[in-house]
Amino acid sequence: MNDVVPFATTLVIIAAVGLTAVLSHRFVERFPIPAPALFLIGAAVASDIWQPLAQVPTLQVERVVTIALVVILFDGGMQLGWRRVRANAGAIVWLGATGTLLTAVALAVGAHLLFGLDWRIALLLGTALSPTDPAVVFSVLGRRQIGGRSGVLLQGESGANDPVGIALMVVLLGTSHFTVGAAGSVAWEFTTQLLIGAVIGVLGGTSLLWFMRSVLLPAAGLYSLRVLMCVFAIYAVTTLAHGSGFLAVLVAGVVVGDQRAPYKIEIERFHSALANLAEIVAFVMLGLTIQITGPGGITEGNALGIGLGLAALLALLIRPLAVVILLWRTDLNRGERLFVSWTGLKGAVPILLGVFIVQAGVADAQRAYDIIFVVVAFSVIVQGGAVPALARRLGIPLETVNPRPWGMNARFEEEPNSLHRFTIGSGAPADGTSIAELPSEDLWVSVLIRQGRLVTVTADTLLRAGDEILVLAEPDTIAEVAKLFGCTATPRPVASPTPYRLRTRLGRGWFRKPAPPEADC
**Do the Cβ atoms of 493 and 420 come closer than 8 Å?**
yes
Rounded-to-integer distance, Cα 107 and Cα 314, Å: 7
Measured between alpha carbons, how far is residue 253 from residues 444, 473, 490 in Å? 33, 29, 19
Rounded-to-integer distance, Cα 253 and Cα 73, Å: 8
Rounded-to-integer distance, Cα 152 and Cα 88, Å: 8
Phi, psi dihedral angles at 414 (to 5 degrees):
-115, 155
Burial level of 25, CB count in 10 A (0-12/13-18/19+)?
Answer: middle
Q: Going by DSSP bridges, is the β-strand pair 419-423/468-473 parallel, antiparallel, or unpaired?
A: antiparallel
Per the DSSP assignment, residues forming a β-bridge with 448 are: 455, 469
Per the DSSP assignment, residues forming a β-bridge with 455 are: 448
Rounded-to-integer distance, Cα 140 and Cα 142, Å: 6
* pLDDT tens-digit map of 225-258: 999 999 999 999 999 998 888 899 999 999 998 8
Nearest to 231 by CA among 191, 167, 282, 275: 275
DSSP 434: B
- Given this model, what pLDDT does residue 107 score? 93
* pLDDT tens-digit map of 501-510: 444 444 433 3
pTM: 0.74
Rounded-to-integer distance, Cα 52 and Cα 65, Å: 20
Rounded-to-integer distance, Cα 385 and Cα 393, Å: 14
Q: Where are the beta strands (DSSP E) in 214-330?
A: none
Count of beta carbons in the 10 Å neighbourhood of residue 51: 10
Domains of the chain: 32-399 (1.20.1530.20), 406-519 (3.30.70.1450)
At position 420, the amino acid (one-letter code) is: H
Q: Which residues of the chain have pLDDT under 50?
A: 488-498, 500-520
Sign of CA dihedral 198, 155, 157, 130: negative
Phi, psi dihedral angles at 57 (to 5 degrees):
-60, 140
Rounded-to-integer distance, Cα 445 and Cα 70, Å: 41
Burial level of 355, CB count in 10 A (0-12/13-18/19+)?
Answer: buried
**Do the Cβ atoms of 373 and 90 come closer than 8 Å?**
no
Rounded-to-integer distance, Cα 171 and Cα 510, Å: 53
